[in-house]
Amino acid sequence: MLEEEFSILDGLFSTLSGVVFLGLFILFYFLPAWIAREKDHMNKKRIFWSNLFLGMTGGGWFVCLIWSLSPSE
């Protein structure tokens, strides 16, 4: 009986930690797009779409981050 309760808690903890990890990953992944939106960057839509499709590569994500931090004219 006690072993069954630990099994349920272990599954719940595993699920919750997975959800937290996924949420933090999404926040970090879209950081360049979020920065561009907050700065009201003139290319915020382009930064978002570039971040969405090229962010999975480390270089694409880094380029989007630098682009979002650049001054908007």
* Alpha carbon distances (Å) from 2 to 5, 9, 42, 57: 5, 11, 59, 46
pLDDT single digits (tens) 7-53: 766 777 788 888 999 999 999 999 999 999 999 999 999 999 999 99
Rounded CA separation 21/53 (Å): 21
Contact criterion met (CB below 8 Å) for 30 and 51: yes
Contact criterion met (CB below 8 Å) for 34 and 65: no
Q: Which domain holds residue 24?
A: 2-69
Give the count of domains, the chain: 1
pLDDT-derived band of residue 2, with 50, 70 and 90 as boundaries?
A: low
CB-CB neighbours of 70 under 10 Å: 13
What's residue 15's pLDDT? 84
